[in-house]
């Protein structure tokens, strides 16, 4: 059974149809990518899946359960966690504090326990700090644990954003343009990181328009254009699909990266 | 390595102990024979307690100009229960906190969805609303005449006793707020201030936590109102106005919004300074304005930022 | 249980009277709301001192026209100029600096609260606590459909209307007006288009403050003025922009009309302080349904 299924989702903004009758199915353990030119509706679809927008029609299912229409934090608690474009982290906190917050939904001790510092809550907090440090070290941020996020270089912030999401032990991680604005070297690093996440047993759905990275990393690709699904398949199939080439025609060849 | 530097935790505990010692031992010994100054210190302690609540709402990223409304609610609850039904103050006090908290929860639920200036505007209006509500309360609140002859419990009849009660409440309040700020809940609150969407996406029930913060803040306002009600033994719809709500806020950020000690420091500094310089007392409000402007221009992070490092920036050493 | 004293229902005020009063009030409130909206949209700043600025405008007219017996128009001009200067000074020396270095949006808002306290207390010091009024500028009353409309109020209404139309024309069709709209939409884009951002922001603040001064100058002929009215006026301004939606010109006017009529009808039929209590409660309920006001954009 697919772990994440989008079934005939449409989302309108007034007269504009941003996503038109799109379906997709993500199998556990895969890296699934949604690509498309600017304005293709990728971000809207992403927000619908994560619960930040409700679909106008259609449903989103997570592990068989309908999640469309639920609040984002409920969806996150079920194990479907998103990251944000660019470098959205808590800027005024240290890297470690950021990732400790990422553990929030795994917390079992109640607010009162935390407030009064009961032993169970303290033990849990110590555990969170430990695994937070571990995740940061795994993503190559072990030497900046106590640095304020605001002072970290750009590339680190993206990794920190992913660390935040990983801390909640998601079953499916939604990555919003993780390679945007990276040079080839940074992209290579990020590609390795995303693979590593998948190898930890996390299913990955990513929205991206850096074609070359996508072709290397994805198990399956869905192409959107003007809100419509125009192709789906393995990277090899997508590269030779005439509809995809059409959609990207008029854009510079290096953008397509074929 | 990942643990909070124990040195910092120890320092904070020591700081709190010194603060408690000063409030409960040094001040009473020094001022035992000066009832006027004991009253000044009681006022400062209670105002600091109210500001601590406002500070907690600041920590989730909301500028709360409604604390005057909740002191009014707390004051009227104690006034009505004590004068009409003869209920003991020690029952009135927690009930004042509970009613203020309840009102805070009911009102907070819709208005906490507003952010930035929208939230500030509506909280400012709330202070006026509370005054009008009690003005129109009929026989229950006696309109503009207010409620007089609120009994003061015998135990608190001396200035010293009242001061000690205020100081104990302030210490308790400080401890609670300190725990809020420095436990994981504090992280959660700060995360909401910095980016609510990101907090939602990490599974944090932002709506619940912001109501929690507002309810705690309102309860503290209610306690302050109850204490002032028995100290002044009367309460009117105009006992707390928008200016009082603004003053609570001013104490917070004069001390510094990044520190739990900020509102306490701000309240004591201003209240005592104005008593010492009684010649300028009539210009108090004017100087508040000047302080606020000067502070924003020169020390936007509050006076305590002169001596304390910003929190959350523990450098790895 | 809550025995509200049965005030005789406002001595049988006819509905037409409430509506006429509502018109006059709305026009005046629109001046207030437009001023605060102008500053809000250009600077992304809520001018907490707006009510105090209005109060100072009222005192300008009180002194120029009421005390020194110079023409009323000159009093209005003085109010506009003095407040314009105060506004420009605030922008130049306080807000520009704080907005540039602020790490939190609280900073500029708290600064605005500080300026409100400052103005109010300076006014208290200069003008004292007394309620001040001025003699009528025109006398006489016109009566129609059971309603009385003193010429004084008619004059206030007409002047306010002319000012509103003038402002709308200015913002819509003149070069500096267009620069302000550009600034309101996108500060960076406006800069790229060659708009002098600093000068335009200063002008916007000055005009917004000047409008507050004019509104105060008009209002003093009807209601008088004292140094303490500022906060209440600011709260009214906030109610209007919460109803209409902050930063939207149409919303400001709509909010002013809603509040103006709610107030005049409420005062005609309800015991005094109950009107605003009901307005506040309605506002909170309204914000539950429409947190951004009737015409407001999403924030952020």
C chain contacts of residue B120, beta-carbon cutoff 8 Å: 46, 109
- Chain C's closest residue to B121, CA to CA, is C238
- Are the beta carbons of C273 and B132 separated by less than 8 Å? yes
Which band of pLDDT confidence, cut at 50, 70 and 90, is reported for residue A258?
Answer: very low
C chain contacts of residue B266, beta-carbon cutoff 8 Å: none
Determine the distance in angstroms separating the CA of A219 from the nearest CA of chain B, rounded to an integer.
Answer: 25
Say what the pLDDT of residue C4 is: 38
As for the ipTM of the complex, it is 0.83
The residue of B191, B211, B305, B315 whose CB has the most chain A CBs within 10 angstroms, and thus the best one to mutate to test that interface, is: B191
The residue of B132, B198, B244 whose CB has the most chain C CBs within 10 angstroms, and thus the best one to mutate to test that interface, is: B132
In this complex, the chains that touch A, judged by 3 or more CB pairs closer than 8 A, are: B
Residue C240 included in any domain: no
- Are the beta carbons of B120 and C46 separated by less than 8 Å? yes
Say what the pLDDT of residue B310 is: 57
A chain contacts of residue B212, beta-carbon cutoff 8 Å: 111
Say what the pLDDT of residue B95 is: 97
- Chain B's closest residue to A124, CA to CA, is B184
B chain contacts of residue A50, beta-carbon cutoff 8 Å: 201
The mean predicted confidence, pLDDT, of chain A is 86
Determine the distance in angstroms separating the CA of C72 from the nearest CA of chain B, rounded to an integer.
Answer: 31
Which among C98, C115, C291 has CB closest to B113?
C291
Which among C117, C232, C271 has CB closest to B289?
C117
Q: Mean pLDDT, to the nearest integer, of A191-215?
A: 87
Say what the pLDDT of residue C2 is: 36
Determine the distance in angstroms separating the CA of A146 from the nearest CA of chain B, rounded to an integer.
Answer: 5
- Chain A's closest residue to B314, CA to CA, is A146
B chain contacts of residue C4, beta-carbon cutoff 8 Å: 136, 138
Which band of pLDDT confidence, cut at 50, 70 and 90, is reported for residue B138?
Answer: confident
CA neighbours closer than 13 Å in the CB half-sphere of residue A185: 1
Say what the pLDDT of residue C297 is: 57
CB within 8 Å of chain A, chain B residues 201-240: 201-206, 212
β-strand C147-150 against C141-144: which pairing, if any? antiparallel
Say what the pLDDT of residue C246 is: 78
Q: Would the pTM count as exceeding 0.95?
A: no
Residue C260 included in any domain: no
Domains in chain A: ranges and CATH? 1-79+170-258 (3.40.50.300), 88-169 (3.40.50.300)
What does the alpha-carbon distance between residue A163 and residue A173 come to, in Å, rounded to a whole number? 11
Gyration radius from chain A CA atoms: 19
- Are the beta carbons of B286 and C5 separated by less than 8 Å? no
Say what the pLDDT of residue C166 is: 95
Q: What is the pLDDT of residues A113-131, one digit of tens each?
A: 888 888 888 888 889 999 8
Q: What is the pLDDT of residues B149-172, one digit of tens each?
A: 999 999 998 999 999 999 999 999
Q: Which helix (H) or strand (E) holds B94?
A: helix B89-111
Rank A14-18, B46-50, B310-314, C279-283 by mean pLDDT and report only the highest. Answer: B46-50
The mean predicted confidence, pLDDT, of chain B is 88
- Are the beta carbons of B300 and C107 separated by less than 8 Å? yes
- Are the beta carbons of B185 and A72 separated by less than 8 Å? no
What are the average pLDDT values for consecutive 10-residue runs of chain C, which has 300 residues?
Answer: 39 80 93 94 90 97 94 96 96 89 76 91 90 89 85 93 95 90 86 88 95 96 92 93 86 94 91 88 86 61
pLDDT at A77 over 90: no
Which among B2, B195, B204 has CB closest to A104?
B204
Say what the pLDDT of residue B164 is: 95
The backbone torsions φ and ψ at residue A33, rounded to the nearest 5 degrees and listed phi first, read -120, 140
Could you tell me which residue, A9 or C246, shows the higher pLDDT? A9
The backbone torsions φ and ψ at residue B160, rounded to the nearest 5 degrees and listed phi first, read -65, -45
Say what the pLDDT of residue A164 is: 86
- Chain C's closest residue to B133, CA to CA, is C277
Could you tell me which residue, A221 or A213, shows the higher pLDDT? A221
Domain that holds residue C91: 15-105+122-234
Say what the pLDDT of residue C296 is: 66
What does the alpha-carbon distance between residue C258 and residue C26 come to, in Å, rounded to a whole number? 8
Which among C2, C115, C285 has CB closest to B140?
C2
Determine the distance in angstroms separating the CA of B32 from the nearest CA of chain C, rounded to an integer.
Answer: 36
Which among A72, A91, A145 has CB closest to B201?
A72
B64 interfacial to chain A (CB closer than 8 Å): no
Which among C105, C241, C273 has CB closest to B136?
C273
Say what the pLDDT of residue B254 is: 83
CA neighbours closer than 13 Å in the CB half-sphere of residue C22: 19
How many A/B residue pairs have CB atoms within 8 Å?
Answer: 114
Q: Mean pLDDT, to the nearest integer, of A90-100?
A: 89
- Are the beta carbons of B292 and C113 separated by less than 8 Å? yes
Q: What percent of chain A has pLDDT over 90?
A: 23
Number of domains observed in the structure of chain C: 1
The residue of B202, B219, B310 whose CB has the most chain A CBs within 10 angstroms, and thus the best one to mutate to test that interface, is: B202
Whether residue B129 contacts residue B12, with contact meaning beta carbons closer than 8 Å, is answered with no
C116-143 per-residue burial string, b: 16 or more CB within 10 A, e: under 16? bbbbbbebbeebeeeebbbeebeeeeee
- Chain A's closest residue to B209, CA to CA, is A111
Q: Which helix (H) or strand (E) holds C148?
A: strand C147-150
A chain contacts of residue B179, beta-carbon cutoff 8 Å: 115-117
Tell me how long chain A is: 258
- Are the beta carbons of A132 and B2 separated by less than 8 Å? yes
Residue C158 included in any domain: yes
C chain contacts of residue B300, beta-carbon cutoff 8 Å: 98, 101-104, 107
C94 interfacial to chain B (CB closer than 8 Å): yes
Whether residue C24 contacts residue C142, with contact meaning beta carbons closer than 8 Å, is answered with no
What does the alpha-carbon distance between residue B179 and residue A117 come to, in Å, rounded to a whole number? 8
Determine the distance in angstroms separating the CA of A52 from the nearest CA of chain B, rounded to an integer.
Answer: 9
CB within 8 Å of chain B, chain C residues 216-235: 231-232, 234-235
Say what the pLDDT of residue A106 is: 79
- Chain B's closest residue to C286, CA to CA, is B110
The residue of A43, A77, A101, A172 whose CB has the most chain B CBs within 10 angstroms, and thus the best one to mutate to test that interface, is: A101
Which among C105, C117, C288 has CB closest to B116?
C105
The residue of B289, B290, B295 whose CB has the most chain C CBs within 10 angstroms, and thus the best one to mutate to test that interface, is: B289
Say what the pLDDT of residue B317 is: 32
SS3 for chain A, per residue?
CCCEEEEEEEEEECCEEEEEEEEEEECCCCEEEEECCCCCCHHHHHHHHHCCCCCCEEEEEECCEECCCCCHHHHHHHCEEECCCCCCCCCCCEHHHHHHHHCHHHCCCCHHHHHHCCHHHHHHHHHHHHHHHHHHHHCCCHHHCCCEHHHCCHHHHHHHHHHHHHHCCCCEEEEECCCCCCCHHHHHHHHHHHHHHHHCCCEEEEECCCHHHHHHHCCEEEEEECCEEEEEECHHHHHCCHHHHHHHCCCCHHHHCC
- Chain B's closest residue to A164, CA to CA, is B202
Residue C113 included in any domain: no
Q: What is the pLDDT of residues B243-299, one digit of tens each?
A: 899 999 889 888 888 888 899 999 999 888 878 776 666 777 788 888 888 888 887
Within a 10 A sphere around the Cβ of A100, how many other Cβ atoms? 24
Tell me how long chain C is: 300
CB within 8 Å of chain B, chain C residues 138-197: none
- Chain B's closest residue to A145, CA to CA, is B316
Determine the distance in angstroms separating the CA of C284 from the nearest CA of chain B, rounded to an integer.
Answer: 7
Q: What percent of chain A has pLDDT over 70?
A: 95
To the nearest 10°, the Cα dihedral for B220, C230, C152, C241? -70
Tokens of B229: 């009600």
Residue C225 included in any domain: yes
In this complex, the chains that touch C, judged by 3 or more CB pairs closer than 8 A, are: B
Determine the distance in angstroms separating the CA of A214 from the nearest CA of chain B, rounded to an integer.
Answer: 24
């Amino acid at each position: 059974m697919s772990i994440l299924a989008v079934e005939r989702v449409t989302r309108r903004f007034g007269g504009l149809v941003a996503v038109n009758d799109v379906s997709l199915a993500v199998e556990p353990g895969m890296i699934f990518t949604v690509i498309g030119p600017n304005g293709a509706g990728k971000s809207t679809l992403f927000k619908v899946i994560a619960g930040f927008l409700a679909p106008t029609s259609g449903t989103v299912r997570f592990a068989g359960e309908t999640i469309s229409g639920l609040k984002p934090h409920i969806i996150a608690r079920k194990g479907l966690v998103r990251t944000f474009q660019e470098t959205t982290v808590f800027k005024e906190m240290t890297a470690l504090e950021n990732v400790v917050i990422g553990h929030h939904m795994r917390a079992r001790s109640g607010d009162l326990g935390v407030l009064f510092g009961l032993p169970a809550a303290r033990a849990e907090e110590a555990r969170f700090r430990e695994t937070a440090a571990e995740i940061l070290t795994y993503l190559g941020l072990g030497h900046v644990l106590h640095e304020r996020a605001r002072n970290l270089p750009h590339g680190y912030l993206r990794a920190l954003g992913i660390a935040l999401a990983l801390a909640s032990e998601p079953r499916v991680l939604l990555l919003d343009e993780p390679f945007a604005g990276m040079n080839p070297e940074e992209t290579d690093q990020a590609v390795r990181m995303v693979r590593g996440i998948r190898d930890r047993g996390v299913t990955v759905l990513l929205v991206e328009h850096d074609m070359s990275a996508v072709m290397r990393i994805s198990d399956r690709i869905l192409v959107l254009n003007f809100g419509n699904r125009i192709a789906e398949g393995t990277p090899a199939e997508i590269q030779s699909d005439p509809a995809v080439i059409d959609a990207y025609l008029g854009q510079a060849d290096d953008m397509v990266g074929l | 390595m990942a643990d909070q530097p124990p040195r910092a935790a120890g320092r904070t505990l020591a700081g709190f102990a010194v603060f408690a010692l000063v409030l409960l031992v040094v001040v009473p010994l020094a001022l035992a024979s000066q009832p006027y100054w004991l009253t000044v210190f009681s006022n400062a302690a209670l105002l600091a307690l109210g500001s601590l609540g406002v500070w907690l709402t600041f920590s989730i990223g909301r500028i709360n100009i409604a604390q005057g409304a909740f002191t009014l609610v707390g004051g009227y609850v104690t006034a009505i229960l004590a004068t009409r039904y003869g209920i003991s103050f020690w029952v009135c006090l927690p009930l004042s906190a509970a009613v203020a908290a309840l009102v805070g929860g009911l009102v907070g639920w819709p208005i906490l969805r507003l952010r930035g200036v929208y939230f500030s505007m509506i909280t400012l209006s709330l202070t006026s609303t509370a005054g009008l509500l009690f003005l129109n309360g009929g026989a229950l609140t006696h309109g503009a005449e207010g409620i007089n002859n609120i009994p003061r419990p015998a135990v608190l009849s001396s200035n010293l006793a009242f001061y000690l009660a205020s100081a104990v409440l302030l210490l308790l309040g400080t401890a609670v707020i300190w725990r809020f700020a420095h436990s994981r809940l504090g992280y959660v609150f700060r995360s909401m201030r910095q980016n609510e969407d990101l907090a939602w996406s990490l599974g944090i029930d932002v709506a619940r936590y912001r109501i929690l913060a507002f309810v705690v803040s309102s309860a503290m306002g209610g306690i302050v109102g109850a204490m002032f009600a028995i100290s002044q033994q009367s309460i009117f719809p105009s006992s707390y106005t928008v200016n009082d709500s603004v003053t609570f806020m001013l104490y917070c950020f004069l001390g510094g919004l990044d520190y739990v000690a900020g509102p306490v420091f701000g309240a004591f500094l201003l209240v005592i300074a104005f008593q010492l310089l009684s010649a300028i007392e009539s210009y108090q409000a004017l100087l508040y304005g000047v302080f606020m402007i000067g502070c924003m221009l020169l020390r936007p992070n509050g006076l305590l930022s002169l001596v304390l490092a910003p929190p959350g920036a523990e450098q790895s050493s | 249980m809550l025995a509200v004293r049965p005030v005789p229902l406002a001595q049988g005020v006819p509905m037409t009277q409430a509506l006429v009063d509502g018109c006059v009030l709305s026009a005046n409130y629109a001046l207030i709301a437009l001023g605060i909206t102008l500053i809000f949209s250009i600077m992304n700043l809520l001018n907490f001192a707006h009510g105090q600025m209005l109060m100072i405008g009222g005192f300008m007219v009180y002194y120029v026209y009421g005390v020194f017996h110079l023409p009323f128009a000159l009093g209005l001009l003085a109010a506009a100029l003095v407040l314009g200067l105060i506004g420009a000074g605030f922008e130049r020396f306080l807000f520009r600096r704080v907005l540039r270095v602020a790490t939190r949006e609280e900073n500029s808002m708290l600064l605005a609260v500080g300026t409100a306290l400052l103005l109010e207390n300076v006014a208290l010091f200069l003008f004292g606590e007394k309620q001040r009024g001025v003699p009528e500028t025109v006398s006489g009353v016109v009566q129609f459909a059971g309603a009385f409309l003193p010429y004084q109020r008619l004059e206030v209404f007409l002047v306010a209307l002319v000012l509103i139309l003038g402002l709308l024309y200015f913002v819509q069709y003149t070069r500096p007006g267009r620069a302000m709209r550009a600034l309101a939409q996108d500060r960076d884009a406006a800069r790229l288009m060659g708009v002098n951002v600093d000068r335009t922001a200063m002008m916007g603040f000055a005009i917004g403050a000047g409008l507050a001064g004019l509104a105060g100058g008009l209002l003093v002929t009807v209601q008088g003025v004292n140094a303490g009215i500022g906060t209440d006026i600011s709260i009214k301004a906030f109610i209007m922009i919460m109803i209409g939606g902050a930063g939207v010109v149409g919303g400001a006017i709509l909010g002013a009309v809603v509040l103006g009529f709610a107030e005049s009808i409420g005062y005609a039929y309800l015991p005094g302080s109950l009107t605003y209590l009901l307005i506040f409660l309605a506002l909170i309920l309204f914000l539950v349904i429409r947190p951004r006001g009737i015409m407001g954009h999403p924030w952020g």
